[in-house]
Amino acid sequence: MIALLLGAALALPPAQVRADTVRDTVFVVSNRRRVVDGFTRDVSDSLWYGLYVTRLVTQGEGARSLAPMRVQRVDSLALAPDDWTTRLAAATRDTAVRHAVLLYVHGYSSSPGTAVAQAVQVRARGAHHGPLVVFLWPTHDRYVAPPTPARAYTDDAAAAARSGDALARVVARVRALAPELVLVAHSMGTRIVLAAIVSDTATHHLLTDRPLRALGIFSPDVGAASFRADFAPQLPMVARRVALYGARNDYLLGAAVLVNRERRASGITARGASLPGIELVDDTRGARAEPALLTLLGPRHAVRWASAALADFFGIVVAGAAPSCRTTAAIADSTAEGRWRLRANATLPEWLDAACAPQRPDPLSDSLRSR
């Protein structure tokens, strides 16, 4: 049903509105096996390094975080690891917070093109301008694979369990050259991130010495009990700010509860004890940018449409604003110590500084934008 609604929504003819186009380069790393005509779902021991050139088209005159967006791949290029590193290093010279490197790890059932498109929209809705790195791990392209509805999920879970070491190598490579690093994990990708930055001893030690600027965990498909006991106490050691976002009406994670027979960590944002050093944000009522037919019936799971949550993460957490700025800016209500609930139809208009004052936005260069 969800797939049918999504297809219908995307098939609607676009309104004749003003469009803004941004062309950019995305740094891509993958542990999917590469063949002549693309990636397979096999896990590879070696990493593929490359670039994707993308075109982001944003329509409408309203807030960019809520605007309809589509991402097109213009070109791609394979690179040797050292060449990839040299190019990324050159892109990290600007040390401003808005230009910190952003590393995105996608969830299950995401083709390479879809995962890159998700990452581009995540950065755009968060008004972040730093270099974008996407880690592609082996998943199915669709939510359902024969012979059973859960086949895609279980296959992807097995691949996620084998991808932590690969991501740990990527994190170490990027952190070695980036003055600041922001890490965003979505859904099942959270399992890989936790394995890479907590379970991997070498990377854990590296980040303890040089912490991430921020870690954003969105709709985590991880067992709640194991997250609380095994991972949550370690996360404040490897990132200066950690924020977890979840919605009570995330139907996809509801299905994951049935498959795994265990509550997911996403629910921690709304119930149970708070987690020291982790900002818990309930996104159930937060503004989103789904296509029209999914606004009421969608699963509230896709991070690329989580407008209010992304504005909160980049505008407050990454920016270094005090957590209390959520209530000062009237985008969320404080429900308990270390816990907030995003307000309906409210998004942060600008990044905030440490005193909750709006920061001056960084305009995109004319070379990237055409109207």
What's the start-to-end Cα distance of the chain, in Å? 37
Q: What is the total count of domains within the chain?
A: 1
The whole-number pLDDT of residue 262 equals 94
The verdict on residue 282 lying in a domain is: yes
Residue 315 backbone phi and psi in degrees, to 5: -75, -25
Task: Show the tokens assigned to 294.
Answer: 């999914």
Element (H, E) at 368: none
The verdict on residue 155 lying in a domain is: yes
The verdict on residue 9 lying in a domain is: no
The verdict on residue 341 lying in a domain is: yes
The verdict on residue 169 lying in a domain is: yes
Residues spanned by the domain of 209: 18-370
The whole-number pLDDT of residue 8 equals 39
Q: Is residue 262 a contact partner of residue 223, using CB atoms and an 8 Å limit? A: yes
pLDDT class for 362, splitting at 50, 70, 90? low
pLDDT, tens digit, 9 for 90 and up, residues 32-81: 999 888 899 999 999 999 999 999 999 876 677 888 899 999 999 999 99
The verdict on residue 45 lying in a domain is: yes
Segment 167-195 shows an average pLDDT of 97
Segment 299-317 shows an average pLDDT of 94
pLDDT at 145 over 80: no
The whole-number pLDDT of residue 297 equals 67
The whole-number pLDDT of residue 371 equals 33
Q: How many CA atoms lie within 13 A of 261 on its CB side?
A: 0
Give the C-alpha separation, 282 to 52, whole Å: 33
The verdict on residue 150 lying in a domain is: yes
The verdict on residue 103 lying in a domain is: yes
Give the C-alpha separation, 45 to 31, whole Å: 7
The whole-number pLDDT of residue 14 equals 41
pLDDT class for 366, splitting at 50, 70, 90? very low
pLDDT at 299 over 50: yes
Q: Any idea what DSSP says for residue 66?
A: G
pLDDT class for 346, splitting at 50, 70, 90? confident
pLDDT, tens digit, 9 for 90 and up, residues 101-138: 999 999 999 999 999 999 999 999 999 999 999 999 99
Segment 219-232 shows an average pLDDT of 97
